[in-house]
Structure 1
Amino acid sequence: MSFARTASLMRRGADFLGSEHAIMCGAMSWVSERHLVAAISNAGGFGVIACGAMTPALLDQEITATKKLTQKPFGVNLITMHPDIMALIDVCAGHQVGHVVLAGGVPPKGSVEAISSSGAKVICFAPTLALAKKLLRTGADAMVIEGMEAGGHIGPVSTSVLAQEILPHLGKDYLVFVAGGIGRGEAIAGYLEMGAAGVQLGTRFACATESIAHPDFKKAFFRASARDAVTSVQLDARLPVIPVRALRNKGAEAFTAKQREVAGLLDGQTVEMAEAQLQIEHYWAGALRRAVIDGDVENGSMMAGQSVGMVTKEEPVADIILALMEEAEAALSRR
């Protein structure tokens, strides 16, 4: 099937990623693993492994396993605060991974250079125009601008506002992918027309047939509406807790208790600030695993974007991408 208008607007992004369509999958811990990543790349999109809290050895295994399932390009998402980030970059280089996504904050010194020297492309996240410009000056090859409608860790500004702030300034000369709250092709068409090189979706793919997420995790998504995906609350100003958007449940209440516990450790000077933040991140990793893998939808972390209301059934990745492209093409054809 031909998607001439959409493909034309996506060409820069698709050429950069090496994929048929400039549709990236957001890196969702425990969800964006070998099966989903390979399925997305095989269907013409661009899969991204979520390294999360993996050790270098585990990442090495995951990349090896993904390569057995697809011959198409895929990327790896690394968290900038990971204590072994340089070793993880070495693992990616050893596998000749073509694209490394740095998420979770400003890249640590030397990380962008290390990725570039391996021949890989660097993709960074930017919540503001000023930071986007700085990251591009310091070596990033492409940017993802992600609005607060997204699932998982989020910033304070909506996708539509970020797109209006950043795309008119950077969209023409640089590669900018838009993420957050995208559930249909009509939205993709709009951002492409504004100058985006492509888009990134996470929630839409979380319940794909190829996703290893527990059936109960998927059923919770099917039942949820946009207003059920709420953000966590920061209890202590000293704790640099990045808000997380997830479905409302007991797990969200448990995170509030975890913050109190870590704040108490800070009060007693038994942990340093970096360790306190790491404890929070480990909490999320464990809570997310309980939901995604074990199916504990009450006590685990049900990270989901506000587009969750558009996820109504389990379907193959290829069908999801086809529907998105058909919707985008139809929208552009009506212009």
Structure 2
Amino acid sequence: MCQRGSDFLGSKHAILGGAMSWVSDRYLVSAISNAGGFGVIACGAMEPSMLDDEIIATQKLTDKPFGVNLITMHPKLDELIQVCLRNQVKHIVLAGGVPSSAAIKQIKDGGAQVVAFAPAAVLAKRLIKMGADALIIEGAEAGGHIGPVSLTVLAQEILPFIRDVPVFVAGGIGRGDAILSYLEMGASGAQLGTIFAASKESRAHDNFKKAFIHAAARDAIASVQIDDSFPVIPVRALANKATKAFMKHQAEVIQKYQRQEMTKEDAQLDIEHFWAGALRRAVKDGDVENGSVMAGQSVGMVKEILPVAEIIQTLVKQAVDALVARRKRVDH
């Protein structure tokens, strides 16, 4: 059922590591690829020279395939694509918005495959026409920046109808039997982030990992927008002091705008900049109260810090055991 996904990625298992800024570096990416999965470097806000260093360093740690996740809004996207192509990266994931036809063409002309995020069926079809070689459908259960629709709904809307390219599911996945259910619906594999962020090979701060172990699914909440005039891109993270401070900050800034002490543009920027550096504070510095502890709702299933290889083996075993159990039920 996952052969199409494995063949596309060139990995033993059709399990992608979600690209998480400050987390999905050379160490975690190589560990996932070496364990039979498919690691993905999170480029995030990296400059081209930094990405170049990270790819080369990753290639020294694994001879298995891995990909690079690029943010479509990055001002140096073209240069970043060239860095990937020059280093023979064969899979480039375009995230953070609808990619341009020019970016897709540049990647394909350079001999690499394009993976794109499709948050709706209409966009999935459009991306395939634009040349995307594979799609990821990510539900609102995911950690980090999220869309409004759950994976269970997206899967029903997209998987039965999109057969042209491999489709990988993401968002809230923490068990192999769940992956199996999506494979049966037509998925080619799955992308997981939260479970790998708390792995032994993850270089995230111990406080960050411990926060995952102590959290329940309901603790991973989406950031709230308090005024439609000042849109906030929702981010799912563990509730902490920063979550409450963000609500207060929005209210204060909007009041300043209403009192004509700020322009609308300045107020919007002020709100958006609240979280600047917040993820790094949590991941690298271990400040899990004032930083942004991005996590998906599957965080409630993270009970201990395990090696990546054990995580992947467990996921595969859970899927196989579930498949055997279902066949036994059918036979009886």
Superposition TM-score, scaled by structure 1 size:
0.91
1:159-198 paired onto structure 2 within 5 Å: 159-170=151-162, 172-198=163-189
Q: Structure 1 residues 272 and 84 mapped into 2: Cα distance closer, same or farther (>3 Å)?
A: farther
Are positions 1:122 and 2:114 aligned together?
Answer: yes
Q: Secondary structure at the match of 1:334?
A: helix
Are positions 1:102 and 2:94 aligned together?
Answer: yes
Partners of 2:253 and 2:183 lie apart in 1 by 43
Q: After alignment, is 42-51 or 283-292 more displaced?
A: 283-292
Partners of 1:241 and 1:121 lie apart in 2 by 32
Q: Alpha-carbon deviation of 1:108? A: 3.2
Partners of 1:222 and 1:111 lie apart in 2 by 39
Partners of 1:10 and 1:258 lie apart in 2 by 46
Q: Secondary structure at the match of 1:119?
A: coil
Q: Which residue of 2 aligns with 1:294?
A: 285
Q: After alignment, is 80-89 or 128-137 more displaced?
A: 80-89
Q: After alignment, is 81-90 or 179-188 more displaced?
A: 81-90
Q: Secondary structure at the match of 1:89?
A: helix
Q: Which runs of 5+ in 1 are unaligned?
A: 1-8
1:1-335 paired onto structure 2 within 5 Å: 9-170=1-162, 172-256=163-247, 259=250, 268-269=262-263, 271=265, 276=269, 280=272, 284=275, 286-335=277-326
Partners of 2:252 and 2:73 lie apart in 1 by 21
Q: Which runs of 5+ in 2 are unaligned?
A: 327-332
Partners of 1:238 and 1:81 lie apart in 2 by 22
Task: Give the superposed CA RMSD.
Answer: 2.1
Q: Structure 1 residues 94 and 32 mapped into 2: Cα distance closer, same or farther (>3 Å)?
A: same
Q: Secondary structure at the match of 1:183?
A: coil
Code of the aligned partner of 2:221: V
8 Å Cα contact 1:265/1:271 also seen in 2: no
8 Å Cα contact 2:101/2:130 also seen in 1: no
8 Å Cα contact 1:53/1:285 also seen in 2: no
Superposition TM-score, scaled by structure 2 size:
0.92
1:72-124 CA-to-partner distances (Å, cap 9, x unmatched) read 11001111111111111111111111111111111135111111111111000
8 Å Cα contact 1:17/1:73 also seen in 2: yes
1:37-58 CA-to-partner distances (Å, cap 9, x unmatched) read 0000000000000111111111
Code of the aligned partner of 2:158: I
Greater Rg over alpha carbons, structure: 2
Q: Structure 1 residues 186 and 83 mapped into 2: Cα distance closer, same or farther (>3 Å)?
A: same
Q: Which residue of 1 aligns with 2:329?
A: none
Partners of 2:100 and 2:111 lie apart in 1 by 19
Percent of matched pairs sharing the same residue: 63
Partners of 2:111 and 2:8 lie apart in 1 by 13
